[in-house]
Each structure stands twice: as C-alpha cells, then as structure tokens.
Amino acid sequence: MTKDLRDFIRTIPDFPHKGIMFRDVTTLFGSAEGLRLAIAETVVALKDLKIDKVAGLEARGFIMGGAIANALGVGFVAVRKAGKLPGKTISQEYKLEYGTAVMELHDDAIAPGEKVLLLDDLIATGGTAEAGIKLIEALGGEVVHSTFIIDLPELGGADKIRALGVPVHVLCNFEGL
C-alpha cells in the first residue's frame, strides 16, 4: 500500500488553543519515507522552474528549503524572526492572530533580478508568507512561485498569496481548524 503524505502528519487537538487542530510536520520530517516523499513530490512539481534561490521561512521552512535548494541546484536563504540574523538586515512586520511579529532577511541575501521560490511547511492566513515576499521584493528579487507542505484552505492564506501574483503549490490540504 502506498502511503499518502497526510499519513505522516500528526494532528494534535487543542494545541496551542482549545478548538485548534495542530498539524505537526515533525512526524513527517522524522520519517525517512515521509521526508523523501515530500521532497520528491515538491521537486517533481517544481523542477522546471527557473529560479536562482529558495527562501525558507523560519523555522520548519529551513528543513525542506535546504533539501529542495540542493535538489534543484540553487542557493538557499533563511527568512528569520527578528533578531536572529547577524549582520545588516531588512525587516517586515506582519499580523498574527493576536498582535504582530517581524521577519528579517540579510540585506544582501537576494540580488536584484534573482528569481526566488518561497517555501514553508504550512500556509494558514498567509501573513508570514506575505512578509517573506515583501522582503524578497524589497531587495529586488522576484518570487516566481511558493510551495507549502500543508494548506489550511479555510484560512485563505494560499488565496492571499495568489492575489499577490505568486503561484502556490501545496502537497496536501487539511480541512478544519
């Protein structure tokens, strides 16, 4: 029997708040079969993209991001939470469910004109991905595609990113919050 990618993703009820069904990709990453499947499905879907770099969003986007960059033969850049990168950075604030947060990127991570694939483990409301896109564009890069392991379609994040003109690829969807 061939396993579906969803079979490797654990759901934890009522985390971090009551009523939330947390989709935990650490079980996917912890399985050699699951991780290989996620990487292979992503690479096959995006292998014809003309990109210069993969930008992974903190923190789980780093795990897949490095592997995808390696498989595609391009560089990897880390989009991090504020205060985590040494050296000169640019910042972008974004909205959370309760308040705001800030993402940063080294000011020399993306050269003007570079084509970038944005990657994270999950897209919910799209705030973090939007911040990543704005950072890349502020440096003159072009986000030509985005990819996520999981989409929570009820929260509208993938549609938000598509509305910004960035195509979205997802490996699987989970209905319900």
Q: How far is the C-alpha of 169 from the C-alpha of 20, rounded, in Å?
A: 24
Q: Which of 6, 36, 60, 137 is catalytic?
A: 60
Identify each DSSP E strand in the chain by its residue range.
10-13, 21-24, 53-57, 75-81, 89-96, 99-106, 115-123, 142-151, 168-173
Is 97 annotated as catalytic?
yes
Q: Which residues contact 2 (CB under 8 A, 6 or more apart)?
A: none
Q: 113 — alpha (psi -120 to 50), left (phi > 0) or beta?
A: left
Report DSSP letters for 20-57, one per residue.
-EEEETHHHHT-HHHHHHHHHHHHHHHTT---SEEEEE
Q: Which of 36, 80, 93, 97 is catalytic?
A: 97
Is 60 annotated as catalytic?
yes
Q: Is 135 exposed, middle or buried (0-12, 13-18, 19+ CB in 10 A)?
A: buried
> Mind telling me the catalytic residues?
60, 97
